[in-house]
């Protein structure tokens, strides 16, 4: 069985924003990236490394290939494949990601972590013939431990199911 895909957004998942008080320096740090200050969750790196045991990670972000210019070194990750959106990126929504996600994830189980799901995203997930899981985040918290555990459990369930069909 191929590993399921984990489509990873950056803003609101790894790059935190909208917080009242800045996160603790042990859990996040501010980085200048392409002339913009980003609050990068250091916890997200460790959590994504654990999830990579169960998933094929792919960047699903308006950062596109720029994610590999900065995030692997900051988070201790390898370079990852990335989706291209041909200029369709729109801040504050995720529906513009659906067509590239569909093409990339064709015939594969997929989980997607993002801070901006709308009804079109939920409808897309319900309509996919392959197992699909949407995992929402809060932009000021990003990828949390409970979401990481839920994603790992979902992938393990898919593995057990696949073994049961052999």
Q: Give the helix/strand (H/E) hosting 122.
A: helix 119-127
pTM > 0.95: no
The DSSP bridge pattern shows strands 110-114 and 5-8 to be parallel
Give the pLDDT band of residue 88 (cuts 50, 70, 90): low
Q: How many domains does the chain have?
A: 1
Q: How confident is the model at residue 96 (pLDDT cuts 50, 70, 90)?
A: confident
> Is the per-residue pLDDT at 166 higher than 90?
no
CATH of the domain at 98: 3.40.50
8 A C-beta contact, residue 16 and residue 115: no
- For 14, the domain range is 5-164
45-78 pLDDT tens trace: 999 999 999 999 999 998 989 999 999 999 999 9
């Amino acid at each position: 069985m191929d590993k399921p895909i984990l489509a990873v957004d950056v803003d609101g998942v790894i790059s935190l924003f909208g917080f009242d008080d800045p996160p603790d320096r042990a859990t996040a740090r501010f980085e200048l990236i392409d002339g913009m200050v980003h609050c990068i969750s250091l916890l997200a790196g460790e959590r994504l490394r654990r999830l990579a045991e169960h998933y094929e990670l792919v960047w699903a972000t308006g950062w596109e290939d720029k994610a590999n210019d900065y995030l692997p070194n900051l988070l201790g990750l390898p370079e990852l494949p990335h989706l291209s959106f041909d200029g369709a990126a729109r801040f504050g929504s995720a529906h513009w990601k659906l067509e590239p996600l569909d093409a990339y994830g064709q015939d594969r189980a997929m989980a997607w972590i993002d801070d901006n799901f709308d009804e079109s995203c939920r409808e897309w997930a319900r309509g996919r013939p392959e197992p699909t899981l949407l995992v929402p985040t809060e932009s000021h918290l990003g990828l949390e431990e409970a979401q990481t555990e839920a994603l790992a459990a979902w992938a393990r369930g898919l593995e057990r199911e696949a073994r049961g069909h052999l």
